[in-house]
Every structure is written in structure tokens, then in C-alpha cells.
Amino acid sequence: DEKGRHDFVTEVDRRSEETIIYHIKKAYPDHRFLGEEGGSSGNPDSDVEWIIDPLDGTTNFVRGIPHVGISIACRVKGRLEHAVILEPFKREEFTASRGSGANLNGRRIRVSGRLEKSGALYGTGIPFSDPSFSEMDNYLACMHEFADNSSGIRRMGAASLDLAYIAAGRMDVFWEMHLKPWDIAAGVLIVREAGGMVSDFQGGESFLERGHILACTPKLFKPSLKVLAKHLGHIR
């Protein structure tokens, strides 16, 4: 039944997060952690924080859709330094360290070289609950502008992997709102190390705090931001 499936997935989430934190703690016992399931833990005075999503794409997992991510980012003194996103079903490992580029299974990746909106492939997360749902009309206005003369819009259900796909050049633009730090922290660094651009809907850096994010190839950044600022720029 639905409750049984929910309880099972919650247990999978919890055990995955506990396992990740356990192994990191063995190497770094004095660090602190921010996880989807356990919230903040560890040493609150540490300059090093690990941001963990143990199962991104929970609904996909419940429904048997093989598209989920495990996302881990390391932030030092407030700055993202290391990141990994695992896709266990496809056995893909996206990694990045600040200043060292981004990789997929050990091979260097770059964002796409797309120069214009025509033919671009977009990714997003469709609002289905408050507070995002109250912005549905404005969100659909963005979709309308982005879809025109594009290659389409994908909604695959795991924001961490959407960002990883931007980094690997599989998609050109990704936007979503009301995400959590563990959804996007690792992906932000991987996109930037792959040559992409990331901002909030006003072109600023508040995406980890507020959860509204745009990530894309450099040439599409300004036109994409213009669309988001017009329809969703009022969101704080």
C-alpha cells in the first residue's frame, strides 16, 4: 500500500544518509553535516560542512523509474569546494573540485556549446505543492517562452541529476524554484567547474538559501535570466 511504500522509502533515505555520514565521520570526525533526513548534525563550530541528499528522486524510486541521484557536497567556510553526484542505476559518477574541472566517471565534461535559444533543451521541476504551486501561472509563462523554438522541456524528477546533465552538455538550461540546499549544492559546483553559469532568478547568489536556481551554458544565461526575471523575479 501507499503508506507501506512511503515508510520503506523513508527508511531507505534514512539508512543511506546514516551510512554516508558514518563513513565521512570516520575520516573527518570533527566536521558538521546538513542532510535531508537528519538536518544539521556534527560539530557546529566546524568550518567544514557536508551537504547530503541520500536519495534525490524519491518518487522515481517509489514508482520504479530508474532515475535517482545521491548528492554530496563539501562546503568550507561557506564556499563549495568538492562535489559528487551518483546515479546508481546508470553507474554514473559526476565529480568536481574547485579549480580542477568536472568529470563523469573520470573523464572531463563541459557544458554544451549552444550559442542561441533555438534548438536548446531545457530541464525543470514543475510546481505541484505550495509555496511553488501558487506561482503556477508565472511558471507556465516561463515554460511558454522557453519552449518556443526549442528542442523541448524535460521534467525528470531529480534536480541533482538535472544539474549534472547541464554540466555534461546533455541539456542546455535548467531552472526550478523552492529547492533545498541538499538538492543543488553538489550540482552547482559541478556545473560551474564544467564551464556553466548558475544564479538565482535575479542573477545573484542566493540560490542555496532561497532555493530558486538557474543553471545553463554561458551564451544562454542572459536571455534565460531575462525570462525568469520577468515572470518569477518577484519571488524571494
CA 1-36-199 angle, 5° bins: 120
Binding site members: 36, 53, 55-56, 183
Q: Cell for 114?
A: 549552444
CA 160-98-190 angle, 5° bins: 20
**Residue 204, burial from CB neighbour count under 10 angstroms (0-12, 13-18, 19+):** exposed
* CA nearest to 156, candidates 144, 169, 170, 146: 170
* CA nearest to 154, candidates 124, 119, 187: 124
Residue 46 · residue 32 · CB < 8 Å? yes
Residue 212 · residue 234 · CB < 8 Å? no
C-alpha 99/C-alpha 80 separation (Å) is 11
Binding site members for Mg(2+): 36, 53, 55-56, 183
C-alpha 94/C-alpha 87 separation (Å) is 8
Cis peptide before 223 (omega within 30 of 0): no
